[in-house]
Amino acid sequence: GSAGASFQQIGRDFSGVSLEVRPAYPVYCIYADESGKTGKYLLVGSLWVLRSYDTMKITSAINHRKKELDFKGEIHFKEINKGNLKTYLSLLGAIIQNSSAISFKGLGVLRSGLYSVDDTLNKLFYHMVIQGVAEENKSGRAVLPRNLQFRKDTEELSKDKLSIMEIELQLQNASKSIFNDNLYVDVVEVEDSSISPLMQVADLFVGSISRLLNKEEGKEGPKDIFAKTFLEAFGVDTKSEALEGLSECVRFS
């Protein structure tokens, strides 16, 4: 009776001041990293998980494989050498086996003539996300409306703060102007790769595309073998694509 009515009333009044309710859309869960600050190409790369429960599934598959291999510490592209190549390829196997709901995307630009590397990285992260969303939506693989969770690897505290503010603002603008408010920008933050196997996978991906594009002449080493195996496993082909406001861009997907 009356108790029910007053309770509903309280509920209504309270919702006015409560936190914005997160819509129950599926997600684009993005883990992003950068590479090539000293190379010919400056690059960003990302791992996209298209079903939220798969973040757990992939994380536990990687952790399980690490345990089997007695692999301690972080997975890092730059650590790959002759002695551990087999181990890294076995870890890659665990990623491939659990790849039905993931995809990889990257964007790169020639570094020469760039005014600001940090500024360019923010633009690359933003454009990579926007192009990725458009692509997943158009292909029908992961259609809008969706929540967007974007995490990038930590760099330096003050720089991270600024770049997150910048990327978040651009994504919110894009949500309105490009995606008709069908992209709900839920999380934009930095995450320390040491606690995130998925961020470590993003590192492997961006390390691989960087290796391909920034390779100096010389014989093929363990990193080259890993990079090729990784990219071929996910059918990455490299194609050049112009992007407004940036000189010649290279895109991976």
Condensed to tens digits (0 to 9), the pLDDT of residues 35-86 reads 999 889 999 999 999 988 889 999 999 999 999 999 999 999 999 999 999 9
The CB-side HSE value for 120 (13 A sphere, CA atoms) comes to 25
Residue 218, sorted as left (phi over 0), alpha (psi -120 to 50) or beta, turns out to be: left
Q: How confident is the model at residue 89 (pLDDT cuts 50, 70, 90)?
A: very high
Q: Residue 106: name the closest of 191, 42, 183 by CA.
A: 42
Q: Residue 16 pLDDT more than 50?
A: no
Q: Residue 15 pLDDT more than 90?
A: no
- Cite the beta strand spans of 79-231 per DSSP E: 102-110, 146-153, 183-191
Q: Output the average pLDDT for the chain.
A: 86
Q: Residue 174 pLDDT more than 50?
A: yes
Q: Residue 246 pLDDT more than 60?
A: no
Structure-block tokens of residue 102: 């993931």
Distance CA 226, CA 89 (A): 7
Question: By percentage, how much of the chain surpasses pLDDT 70?
Answer: 85
Q: How confident is the model at residue 6 (pLDDT cuts 50, 70, 90)?
A: very low
Question: By percentage, how much of the chain surpasses pLDDT 90?
Answer: 65
Per the DSSP assignment, residues forming a β-bridge with 30 are: 48, 150
Classified as helix, coil or strand, 158 is helix
CB 71, CB 58: distance < 8 Å = no
Q: Residue 117: name the closest of 35, 32, 204, 206 by CA.
A: 35
Instruction: State mean pLDDT over 195-212.
Output: 94
Locus of tokens 């790849």? 99
Q: How confident is the model at residue 17 (pLDDT cuts 50, 70, 90)?
A: very low
Q: How confident is the model at residue 237 (pLDDT cuts 50, 70, 90)?
A: low
Locus of tokens 């407004």? 244
Distance CA 58, CA 47 (A): 11
Q: Residue 13 pLDDT more than 50?
A: no
Q: How confident is the model at residue 203 (pLDDT cuts 50, 70, 90)?
A: very high
Q: Residue 108 pLDDT more than 80?
A: yes
Per the DSSP assignment, residues forming a β-bridge with 42 are: 109
**Full-model pTM:** 0.87
Instruction: State mean pLDDT over 214-228.
Output: 87
Residue 162, sorted as left (phi over 0), alpha (psi -120 to 50) or beta, turns out to be: alpha
Q: How confident is the model at residue 10 (pLDDT cuts 50, 70, 90)?
A: very low
* Of 175 and 248, the one with more pLDDT: 175
Q: Residue 220 pLDDT more than 90?
A: no
